[in-house]
């Protein structure tokens, strides 16, 4: 019984993760509407947890959010020259 619950939770989590990656615009609208529904019922904690992050920057629907930190460039290692 416990194994069934664990596998069910993993399958649901995986399906949500893939849905967010494959269909970012649809996932944003679905989770936004779900958060609004929870807010109307008075479940503010759940609504805050479900509410998707605002998309900023590229606007191409890639799913990047405002919480993503910019990537830092690698510092190029230079050889030491001995005299």
| Domain locations in the chain as residue ranges | 24-60
In this prediction, residue 30 has a pLDDT band, given cuts at 50, 70 and 90, of very high
Q: Mind listing the pLDDT tens digit for each residue in 35-54?
A: 999 999 999 998 899 888 87
Return d(Cα 31, Cα 37) in angstroms, integer: 10
Residue that has been written with the tokens 């399958």 in this structure: 11
Is the pLDDT at 83 greater than 80, yes or no? no
Q: Are the beta carbons of 52 and 32 closer than 8 angstroms?
A: yes
* Entry pTM: 0.58
Instruction: Give the pLDDT score at 78.
Output: 82
């Amino acid at each position: 019984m416990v194994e069934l619950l664990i596998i069910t939770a993993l399958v649901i989590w995986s399906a949500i993760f893939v849905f967010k990656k494959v269909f970012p615009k649809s996932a944003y609208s679905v989770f936004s509407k779900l958060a609004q529904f929870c807010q109307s019922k008075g479940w503010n904690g759940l609504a805050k947890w479900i509410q998707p992050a605002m998309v900023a920057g590229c606007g191409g629907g890639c799913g990047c959010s405002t919480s993503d930190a910019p990537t830092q460039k690698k510092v190029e290692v230079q050889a030491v020259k001995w005299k």
